Amino acid sequence: MMTPRTVGLGIAIIAAATSLSVLFLPAMTAPIQPSEIFRARTTIENQGRVLYIRNGCIGCHTQYIRPSDWAFEPLRVSQAGDYIADSPHLLGSERTGPDLSQEGGLHPDDWQAAHFHDPRFVRPASIMPDFGFFSDNQLRELIAYVQSLGGTMADARVARQNYWKPALIAAYTRGQDANAEYLYAHVPPQWATLPNPYPADANALAQGEFVYEQECINCHGPVGDGRGVAAPYLNPKPFNFTVLKRQPWSGGLLYYQIMNGITGSAMPYFKDDLESAKIWDVSNYIATQFIGTAPTLPKVPIPFQGAIPASREPKGNKQ
């Protein structure tokens, strides 16, 4: 006789059998192997992971790039073998902030420090709370953990950041003009001589101003002199656009640096965040507001010394 108790017992047996066959048997018969990017975390990285958990970062950030995300993300789809050392796992479900599963090395440590002190220093429109209450030691631990996300792939990007940073600092300390010439020498010639294809009309300048205020103002400053609120945390300091009043420049040079960023500095790439037209618009705004002169090319061509690869590019070797 079919009673509610019998029906309930039958449902429980079916659910248990399904769970056994779908969840537990595969786990027991086909153990997960480490992925090609997996590596064990260091002590300081594990300490940073504890801070990440205690401060509720999982409430806004996932650590899992789904197959459906891959059309929009520059990085690889997450694999089960990426997480074999994670207990508990921190995959998360909320994407209020960006996914962090492969965040390591996309920015240098000083950018991360400024970001944790106050996210609006480097992302003016961010809604993330600040973590300026961390001690210096806690900040180092959390940065170490974030820079480890992505395993060996992240390690390669961190190495790239560390490779370029000393050269960029040395160029900056030689003075603003020497710094501008060094950066110019690392822009491919086809970009360094390319004019802006869009006129600096009222609509373009309004769009460029909006982009500048949303993305750039807290590093480069309201007047483009590199003295934004994030500057005290960064080394080298953000670029002073007004220097280009006496240095050769072009619309293409500005576009290239905004598109690819400057690996080793706090200048990130925007190729994934801004459409091409918006990069040209903010280039027009920078030129009109802070440089104030017509684009010029060097009388004696500056020898091209090779491009600085964007931090997101594959094969994160020194070059």
CATH code, 281: 1.10.760.10
What's 274-288 look like in SS3? CCHHHHHHHHHHHHH
Query: Rounded to 5 degrees, what are φ and ψ at 181?
Result: -65, -40
Q: Which domain holds residue 82?
A: 43-156
Domain annotation covers residue 36 = no
Residues 127 and 179 in one domain: no
Residue 39: the pLDDT is 96
Residues 147 and 207 in one domain: no
Nearest-Å Rg of the Cα atoms of the chain is: 24
Residue 208: the pLDDT is 97
Instruction: Give the residues of the chain that fall short of pLDDT 70.
Output: 1-2, 22-30, 71-74, 315-319
Residues 98 and 198 in one domain: no
Residues 123 and 192 in one domain: no
Domain annotation covers residue 314 = no
Domain annotation covers residue 91 = yes
Residues 79 and 121 in one domain: yes
Residues 249 and 207 in one domain: yes
Specify the pTM.
Answer: 0.88
Q: Which of 156, 184, 213 is the last residue of a domain?
A: 156
Residue 17: the pLDDT is 77
Residue 74: the pLDDT is 63
Residues 146 and 183 in one domain: no
How many domains is the chain partitioned into structurally?
A: 2
Residue 99: the pLDDT is 93
Residues 190 and 278 in one domain: yes
Residues 184 and 127 in one domain: no
Domain annotation covers residue 137 = yes
Sign of CA dihedral 118, 121, 123, 125: positive
Domain annotation covers residue 284 = yes
Domain annotation covers residue 205 = yes
Residue 22: the pLDDT is 66
Residue 11: the pLDDT is 83
Domain annotation covers residue 97 = yes
Residue 25 identity: L
Domain annotation covers residue 71 = yes
Q: Which of 108, 127, 156 is the last residue of a domain?
A: 156
Residues 138 and 181 in one domain: no
Residue 79 identity: Q
Cα–Cα distance for residue pair 262/277, rounded to 1 Å: 20
Residues 145 and 245 in one domain: no
Residues 234 and 185 in one domain: yes
